[in-house]
């Protein structure tokens, strides 16, 4: 092993707003000590303790378009849920939107900045 995952970093136009969305969706606390104003915002635990999500300001972000290969998803998160209907309702209330595509055990959504993510169940 060369190293350990520190953070998944998501580029977006408004890091604090998108961090607020994921804080509610995943129940991860904001780590103000590791954040830098509105340009870099971190959720999770202190360095070395996972999971951590970081949000970095990218003013000219070209948001992905699911499932368009000309504007690929760039990354996505799989989020395990107990009750897909309740989870979908809560995610939509936070500002997510449903995207085309689903399979056995998952549905696809976009966060408020357009990044795809999946709600998954067993």
The domain limits of the chain are: 8-57, 77-120
The Cα–Cα gap between 17 and 67 comes to 25
> Which pLDDT value is given to residue 3?
66
pTM of the model: 0.80
Per-residue pLDDT of the chain (122 residues), as tens digits, is 666 777 898 999 999 999 999 999 999 999 988 888 999 999 997 666 777 899 999 988 888 888 888 888 777 888 989 999 999 999 999 999 999 988 899 999 999 999 999 999 88
CATH (one of 3.40.50.11740, 3.40.1000.10, 3.30.465.10, 3.10.180.10) for 8-57: 3.10.180.10
List, edge to edge, every strand of the sheet that includes 116-120.
Answer: 77-80, 116-120, 106-110, 97-103
Q: How far apart are CA 44 and CA 50, in angstroms?
A: 7
């Amino acid at each position: 092993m060369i190293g350990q995952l520190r953070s998944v970093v998501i580029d977006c136009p408004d890091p604090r707003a998108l961090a607020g969305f994921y804080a509610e969706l995943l129940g991860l606390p904001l780590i103000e000590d590791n954040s830098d104003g509105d340009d870099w915002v971190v959720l999770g635990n202190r360095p070395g303790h996972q999971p951590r999500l970081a949000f970095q300001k990218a003013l000219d972000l070209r948001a992905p378009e699911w499932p368009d290969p000309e504007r690929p998803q760039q990354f996505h998160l799989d989020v395990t849920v107990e009750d897909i209907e309740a989870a979908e309702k809560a995610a939509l209330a936070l500002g997510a939107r449903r995207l085309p595509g689903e399979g056995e055990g998952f549905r696809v959504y976009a966060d408020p900045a357009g990044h795809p993510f999946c709600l998954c169940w067993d």
